[in-house]
Amino acid sequence: MTTRRMKLLNPGPVTMTQRVRRALGAEDVCHREPEFAALTARVREKLAAVYGAPGYAAVLIGGSGTSAVEAMLALVPHAGAAGSKKSLVVANGVYGERMAAMLRAQGKPHEVISSGWTGAMDLAAVEKALATGTYGHVLAVHHETTTGRLNDVAALGAICTKTSVPMLLDAVSSFAGEDIRFEEWNLEALAATANKCVHGAPGVSFVLARKDALTRPTGATSVYLDLMKHAAEQAKGSAPFTMPTHVMFAFDEALSELEESGGWTARHAAYVARSAAVRAAVRELGAPLLLDDEVAYGAILTSFRLPQGKTYEALHAALKQDGFVIYAGQGNFDGAIFRIAVMGDLDPHDQDRLVSSLRRALA
Ligand SMILES: Cc1ncc(COP(=O)(O)O)c(C=O)c1O
Q: Is 192 helix (H, G, I), strand (E, B) or coil?
A: strand
pLDDT at 5: 83
CA distances from 244 to 194, 214, 231, 240, 281 (A): 12, 23, 17, 13, 40
The amino acid occupying position 310 is K
Task: Say how far apart CA 251 and CA 194 lie, in whole Å.
Answer: 6
Mutate to test the pocket of ligand 1, among 73, 98, 145, 204 (most ligand atoms within 8 A of CB): 145
Residue 8: its pLDDT value, please?
98
| φ, ψ dihedrals at 136, nearest 5° | -90, -30
Kindly tell me the sign of the dihedral angle through the C-alpha atoms of 253, 270, 180, 329: negative
Q: What is the pLDDT of residue 1?
A: 43
Rounded (5°) CA angle 136-140-143:
165
Residue nearest to atom 7 of ligand 1 (CA): 65
Q: In what order do the strands lie in the sheet with 337-341?
A: 301-305, 337-341, 327-328
Among 9, 73, 92, 95, which residue has the most ligand 1 atoms within 8 Å of its CB, making it the best to mutate?
95
Residue nearest to ligand 1 atom 12, measured at CA:
172
* Distance of CA 328 from the midpoint of ligand 1 (Å): 15
Q: Ligand 1 centroid to 201 CA: how many Å?
A: 14
Please report, in tens digits, the pLDDT of each residue of the chain (363 residues total): 445 689 999 999 999 999 999 999 999 999 999 999 999 999 999 999 999 999 999 999 999 999 999 999 999 999 989 889 999 999 999 999 999 999 999 999 999 999 999 999 999 999 999 999 999 999 999 999 999 999 999 999 999 999 999 999 999 999 999 999 999 999 999 999 999 999 999 999 999 999 999 999 999 999 999 999 999 999 999 999 999 999 999 999 999 999 999 999 999 999 999 999 999 999 899 899 999 899 999 999 999 999 999 999 999 999 999 999 999 999 989 999 999 999 999 999 999 999 999 999 998
Residue 33, Cβ neighbours under 10 Å: how many? Answer: 12
CA 65 to centroid of ligand 1, rounded, Å? 5
pLDDT of residue 2: 45
Amino acid at 166: P
Residue 249 near residue 39 (C-beta atoms within 8 A) = yes
- Measured from CB, residues less than 6 Å from any atom of ligand 1 are 11-12, 64-66, 69, 95, 141, 145, 170, 172-173, 193
| From the candidate CATH numbers 3.40.50.920, 3.40.50.970, 3.30.420.40, 3.40.640.10, the one assigned to the domain spanning 18-260 | 3.40.640.10
Residue ranges per domain, the chain? 7-14+263-362, 18-260
Ligand 1 atom having least distance to the Cα of 12: 14
> Does domain 7-14+263-362 match CATH 3.30.365.10?
no
115-118: long-range contacts at Cβ-Cβ below 8 A with a sequence spacing of 24 or more? Answer: 115/91, 116/92, 117/92, 117/93, 117/146, 117/147, 117/331, 117/332, 117/333, 118/92, 118/147, 118/290, 118/291, 118/292
